[in-house]
Structure 1
Amino acid sequence: MNVEFISIPKIEDNRGNISVIEHDVLPFEMKRVYYLYDVPSAAERGGHSHKTQKEFLIALSGSFDVVLNDGKEKRTITLNKPFEGLLINQGIWRELNNFSSGSVCLVIASAVFDEDDYIRDFDQFIAYKLFSDR
């Protein structure tokens, strides 16, 4: 599956730790940053795929599950460390759920918002994957 964990450099200090994401941490240029918070534990976010955009997800606080599907394999990954993130490349369906109380999900994207890049229907995603994998 076309995803990978990426460690974020961490500077430890007895006054508190700091992690920094600069140009060499991610394999793409940052074009948009947004975050999810106050998500009820029973709610789901995501439910889409991107045709070209890549995203890097980090659990800044708390935890949540990322359910991934590439059209052949389904996998669930729990994010719960602010110094490690999940790179989701294009062509991967993602759903976020099981948010803990107070969790914050930071998303760094390789592109600005473009509705045409989204596939929001799972059946259309499967059809797109069948066509694009030829």
Structure 2
Amino acid sequence: MDIKLVQLQKHGDERGSLVALEDQRNVPFSIRRAYYLFGTKEDVRRGFHAHKKLQQMAIVVRGHCRFHLDDGNEQLEVLLDNPAQGLMIPPGLWHEMYDFSSDCVLLVLADAHYDETDYIRSHEEFKAGLSK
């Protein structure tokens, strides 16, 4: 599985750090939607879906969480714990998030507005779609 982690340029000095997110620059798509998860309990798993067309970039702004990724052929676990690194989630990639630190803030940038018809929420349907 070819997972792309994007290194984001961090600027800063003794006052702190700044990372700018710019579409078509360090985010390789036009940003149409941004959302973030926080206050997630450590023993909770989230996600459990893939998208037909949507592409996303996930960035842990604070804390850490893990991603379980499945492309239908291979499964991979990825730890996100660096606010200057983004995980690309292309269409057709099943993803689940878990092992959230108590302070985790997970920001997700997407190239389209929310569309329920773009979701594949059944892992069986996801696997069946790969065999077509």
Both structures adopt the same fold (TM-score exceeding 0.5): yes
Q: Specify the SS of the correspondent of 1:126.
A: helix
The code of the aligned residue for 2:83 comes to P
Aligned length: 131
1:13 CA displacement:
1.0
RMSD: 0.8
> Structure 1: any 5+ residue segments left out of the alignment?
none
Equivalent position of 1:39 in the other structure: 40
| TM-score normalised by structure 2 residue count | 0.97
Does structure 2 conserve the Cα–Cα contact (< 8 Å) formed by 1:9 and 1:21? no
Query: Whole-Å Cα distance in 2 between the matches of residues 82 and 30 of structure 1?
Result: 18
Unpaired runs of 5+ residues, structure 2, are none
Residue matched to 1:9 = 9
Instruction: Provide the identity percentage.
Output: 36
- Is 1:49–2:50 an aligned residue pair? yes
TM-score by length of 1: 0.95
Equivalent residue number for residue 90 of structure 1? 91
Q: What's the counterpart of residue 129 of structure 1?
A: 130
Deviations 1:5-50 (A, max 9, x none): 0011110211001000112111110000000000000001100000
Runs of 4+ displaced beyond 4 Å: none
Contact 1:10 1:18 in 2 (8 A): yes
Instruction: Determine the C-alpha separation between the residues in 1 that align with 2:34 and 2:2.
Output: 21
